[in-house]
A and B are shown apart, each in its own frame.
Chain A
Amino acid sequence: MAYRIFIVDDEPALQNMVKEILTQAGYEVDAALSCAQAMERFPTAAPDAVLLDVMLPDGDGFSLFGKLREIRDVPVLFLSARDEDEARLRGLGLGADDYITKPFLPQELLLRLRAVLRRVYRETSGLSSLADVKIDWGKSTIYRNGSEVSLTAKEFALLKKLWEARGNIVTIDALCAALWDGPLVGYENTLMVHIRRLREKIEADPSHPKFLLTVRGLGYRLKREERQ
């Protein structure tokens, strides 16, 4: 089922463009041009996420954020032309899930929205596949050619962190932080060992990995798999 996104922005041209981007990406979209219209449509729209402008003709997005959250606890991404630290920090401090500054690229908007939805609705609770490997996120188990392959807690946490950012490089430091609860120095070699063991379990040829790739000097990248 497609996610429903609610846009609140007083600029019709921008609203139409965002609508088109989201619709083409497979989302269902509803929109409002003002605070009053947003309050009227929000309950019936029942969205899964809200894209909220900060400066609106009849109020500000920060106040509207609180009112919308009172009605329904949904992820909110601020979409604002205000780039001052104060505005960003205020938005995020209120509990918003992201703060995107205009102008933005469509791809950037989609990636950040997808990241928020994945985090909030825990997409990784079901089944995923990577070539001939099936990942059961609920049971924290992987299956290779139908057979269960045991993963240690660290290996599974590593796979999950890379999967959440699949297609993108995850730095050594971010992986260490995910595995050992903090940016620890000197864990790089231990991390390499975990990576090597994970490769042995998910790659057909661990010496020539096709999915878990090393980006020299930076970190690792889990390549996207077309059949996911």
Chain B
Amino acid sequence: MKLQALRKGAMLVTVSALMIFVITMLGWFAFGCYISDGGRGWNVPIREYSKALTWDGTTYTFTGENLLEKDRWMMLLNPQGRVVWSLRKPEDVPEQYTLTDVASFTRWYLEDYPVRCWVRPDGLLVVGSPKGSVWKHDIAMNTQDLLQAPLWFAGIFLLALGSVLGLAWLTVGNWFRQDQQVRDAARSNWINGVSHDIRTPLSVVMGYAAQLEDAPDLSPLHRQQASAIRAQSQVIRDLVNDLNLTMRLDCEMQALRKETLRPEAFLRQIGADFLNGGMGSGFNFEIDLPEIPLPEMNADPFLLRRAINNLLTNCVRHNSPGGLIRLGAKTAGKWIVLWVEGGTLDDSTETHAPQFLEPDGGAAHGTGLRLVTQIAAAHGGKTEFHSGTPYRCELWMPQK
């Protein structure tokens, strides 16, 4: 699902980039067409005008009327700066020019008229346009800078393109995240609702089964059957609890309430509760803590207790009566390793928690262990599961 969403996002961004490129090119083309005046305006090379102006020995003849727009004018200055020929020259344009005047108007304006100049053997040809019709600017640039200009333009273009694509990527990602959040919330609420509805009838089943288990007037067989109902109801209860929590962790809806914990005290309390609650009855239980005090951890005690309890329950399930269950902790570099050992699990050599959801979305075996992995990950830790005899589960937690 995520891969498909990413593919869609990538495609959308690529199409957007292509569209930006095509629209820019079309825009430049349209602008070119708009400013084009059929070769008669400012853009007509002045060389063409010069070619059209000829001297027959007595007089000048201009044959390029079709190239020159009606509001444009021309004049030819001789080497002494005097106007020797002109066409539609405005009255406010002088007849004589000094070297300084020529130097100025060739670069800027002549009496505010934008002009272009062309050097000919017989003088200087000047073509003028109406005042305010053309903007002129003198550009001078260091050659080295000029050579670098394309690189600068390309870099700026790529930067702009990258920014646009990045923004588009973020926007698209945000849409998908929002969509995912809505779906996650719906899924979590649904599971929460279903598990809520299961809890009350399960209480009745567990309660009556536990009472029948201790009823003196029932036969041993019936008491055994009641015990099985009670035990299986507890399995369902654990599954419902795990399913709820795993979903909340998956959807990042479970807030971590971290506290500073002393690993020894924390594990001793879990061990005591394990034995006090009767979970460990029929098993040999040992706690293995180093003599040197362990460093403190910063963790959510409720979640971490849940994780360790799941590991202990897992050991009970894979153990035989009279078997040994060990709970312990040690340090490994910057980690505190909390571990539970006992029972046998040799049907695989897995080092990761088994998958908990089948492809069709149904709950599969191993929800409890998957939850342990999720809780470790939520604290920035990890888990390791070592199959064999004894079956060993390790929860690696960062030190405070």
Contact = CB atoms under 8 A, between A and B. Distances in A.
Contacts of A185: 262, 293
Contacts of B207: 14, 17-18, 21, 103-106
B241 interface: yes
B241 A171 contact: no
A215 B275 contact: yes
B271 A218 contact: yes
A81 B272 contact: no
A156 B170 CA distance: 66
B196 A81 contact: yes
Main secondary structure of the interface of A (DSSP, over half): mixed
Contact of B268 (A85, A102, A168, A218): A218
Nearest to A167: B276
A217 B255 contact: no
B204 A14 contact: yes
Given A85-B302, A168-B276, A104 B203 contact: yes
B299 to A, nearest CB: 15
A18 B237 CA distance: 18
A6 B196 CA distance: 23
B211 A217 contact: no
Interface in A89-118: 101-108
Interface in B232-288: 233-234, 237, 241, 244, 254-255, 257, 262, 264-265, 268-269, 271-272, 275-277, 286-288
A11 interface: yes
A168 B241 contact: no
Given A85-B302, A102-B200, A217 B289 contact: yes
Interface string B199-213: 111111111101100
Contact of A13 (B204, B211, B234): B204
B199 A107 contact: no
A83 B272 contact: no
Interface in A181-223: 183, 185, 215-219
Main secondary structure of the interface of B (DSSP, over half): helix
A171 B262 CA distance: 13
A17 B203 contact: yes
A21 B254 CA distance: 34
Contacts of B203: 14, 17, 102-104
Contact of B272 (A21, A103, A171): A171
A183 B275 contact: no
B151 to A, nearest CB: 58
Given A17-B207, A103-B233, A107-B210, A169 B265 contact: no
A103 B257 contact: no
Contacts of A11: 200, 204
Contacts of B234: 105
A28 interface: no
B276 A183 contact: no
Interface in A140-176: 168-174
Interface in B285-302: 286-289, 293, 302
B289 A174 contact: no
Nearest to B288: A217
B206 to A, nearest CB: 5
A58 interface: no
Q: Which of A11, A81, A108, A219 has the most CB of B within 10 A?
A: A81
Nearest to B203: A103
A102 B206 CA distance: 10
B210 A173 contact: no
A20 interface: yes
B119 to A, nearest CB: 88
Given A13-B204, A17-B203, A85-B255, A183 B268 contact: no
Interface of B: 192, 196-197, 199-208, 210-211, 230, 233-234, 237, 241, 244, 254-255, 257, 262, 264-265, 268-269, 271-272, 275-277, 286-289, 293, 302
Given A104-B206, A169-B271, 7 more contacts: A24-B211, A83-B244, A102-B199, A105-B207, A108-B277, A168-B272, A185-B262
12 contacts: A11-B204, A81-B196, A81-B199, A83-B199, A83-B244, A103-B205, A103-B237, A106-B207, A168-B276, A171-B271, A185-B293, A217-B286
